[in-house]
Structures are given as C-alpha cells and as structure tokens.
Amino acid sequence: MAILAPVLEFENVSKFFYRHGGQMLLRDRLAHVLRPGTRERFYALTGVSFKLDHGESMAVVGSNGAGKSTLLNIATSLSDPSEGRVAVGGRVEALLELGSGFHPDLTGAENLRIKASLLGLTRRQVRERFDQIVEFSELADFIDEPLRTYSAGMTMRLAFAVAINVDPDLLIIDEVLGVGDQNFFQKCVDKIMEFRHSGKSILCVSHALNTLESMCDRGLWLDHGRVMKQGSVGEVLKAYRESASTHAGLTVHT
C-alpha cells in the first residue's frame, strides 16, 4: 500500500523581516536597496520543523508575538519562508480572518458561490452543496442580503459553512470560532470533530486551551518564533500552562 506524504511539512523554516526604524529619508531607502545586507533582520520564525500527517490534528499555542500567525500564513502560501522548505500534500482551506475572500457589496449567496468556486468546486458542485451550506450557516433568512449588513458572527458562520463543505484535506483555523453564540460554536466544534474522524487534518490556533485539547491530538508550542515543545496535545499544553504560570503578564485562557 502506498504511503501518503504528510499533508503539511515544515523543514527548518525561518521567516525574517527587515527593520526600518520608522520613516526614512530617500537616501536611507536607496542605501538599503543598494546594500540590503546592512539592514537589521527580525526573525518571526527560526528553524521550525514539524510534520502533520493525514488524519492528524495539531494545536499551535504561544503568547502574542510568538509567531503563530506567521506560521499559518506560510502554511497557506500567503507568505513564503525566508529559509527552509514547506510541502503541502492536499487541498488546504483556511479561516484566518473574518470575511477573507468576501466582498461586502455582494449578497451572502453570491459570496458563497464565488468563495466555493475559488476553493475548487465546480458550478455543479456549488449548486449541489448550496442548500447544505446555507442550512449549516443558519442564514437562510439573510442569504440574499448584502454582506455589509452582516454582523461579525454572521460572516463567520458563512465562512465556516463554506470552508467545511468544500471538503479540504487540511482545515486551518485561527481564533475565528470565538466569534458567535455558544450554540453555533458547539455546532462548529461538532462539525470539526466529524471532519477529523473522517480522516481529514486540522491545524488550529487558539487561546482557548480546553477547546484545543478536545479537538486536537498533537500540539506545537512557539515562543519568540522558536519551537519550545511538540508532541501530544496534553503534554504540550501542560508545559505551556506551567510556563505561563511562572511569567507575569502572560494570560492563558482555558
């Protein structure tokens, strides 16, 4: 039997940005263009390596500024690594920010069709899944209204409903499930568990550690762009909580 490649693999991945110290004079900008090696680098990620196999779910934790968003941006090809290698072995869908890929002046239905098409569904597949997506979102009464009239929670419902119904191999989630009422949140968690049990993969960032522990089987803890620990989600979250309790000013939500 053929062995599947990991759905996501980071191999010694680093990402740096150049510091510019605020506004610069024209001569300073020209000097930086002509002599890029003189600019100071800030590393958002340093030497990050991990593998996520098909059917696995991974929680990514860390304080603000730890590099979590940078990691997700690279995983979704929104940003390229400065160093190292990234390999993706399947269709990826990400919920990184509310309304990404949506147009406020189009209706919910129009945004649904466009977003699903951009994610690879054919027109026929969009038609077949349209009612299912609307039903899950609980937005049937508003689906023909412009998206600019939607609340943040309604936008999140539509985005999640589309994402989970295009059947990606890897679903990437960044905190957005924290928007909306408790009943819909639980509905999303149940759907994610169903998605997971069907053999799909999940990469999830959240400060809600108890939710991560229930949804994921593996964990990755980042601190200042470096991997502090990876392994079972229980072991990683235990180490992260213990570290948080010893550092003043670091708030961990359970």
Does 27 score more than 70 pLDDT? Answer: no
Asked if residue 87 lies in contact with residue 9, where contact means CB atoms within 8 angstroms, the answer is yes
Most confident of 24-28, 64-68, 143-147, 205-209: 143-147
Task: State the pLDDT at residue 95.
Answer: 80
The pLDDT tens digits for 71-96 are: 999 999 989 999 999 999 988 888 87
Report the alpha-carbon distance of residue 20 to residue 142 in Å, rounded.
Answer: 46
- 166: confidence class by pLDDT, cuts 50, 70, 90: confident
Low-confidence winner among 64-73, 117-126, 134-143, 185-194 (lowest mean pLDDT): 185-194
Provide mean pLDDT across the span 202-213. Answer: 90
Provide mean pLDDT across the span 228-252. Answer: 83
Provide mean pLDDT across the span 111-133. Answer: 93
Furthest C-alpha separation in the chain: 62
DSSP one-letter string for 126-177: HHHHHHHHHHHHT-TTTTTSBGGGS-HHHHHHHHHHHHHHS--SEEEEESGG
Higher pLDDT, 5 or 175: 5
Closest CA to 169 of 147, 202, 215: 202
Domain residue ranges of the chain, discontinuous segments joined by +: 50-76+90-245
Does 33 score more than 80 pLDDT? Answer: no
DSSP 8-state code for residue 106:
S
Report the alpha-carbon distance of residue 132 to residue 57 in Å, rounded.
Answer: 25
- 38: confidence class by pLDDT, cuts 50, 70, 90: low
Does 60 score more than 70 pLDDT? Answer: yes
Task: State the pLDDT at residue 254.
Answer: 47
The set of residues, in sequence order, having a beta carbon less than 8 Å from that of 118 and lying 6+ positions away, is 101
Rounded mean pLDDT of the chain?
A: 87
The architecture that CATH gives domain 50-76+90-245 is 3-Layer(aba) Sandwich (3.40)
Does 185 score more than 90 pLDDT? Answer: no
DSSP one-letter string for 73-96: HHHTTSS--SEEEEEE-S-EEEE-
Report the alpha-carbon distance of residue 51 to residue 39 in Å, rounded.
Answer: 33
Provide mean pLDDT across the span 189-211. Answer: 89
Asked if residue 44 lies in contact with residue 198, where contact means CB atoms within 8 angstroms, the answer is no
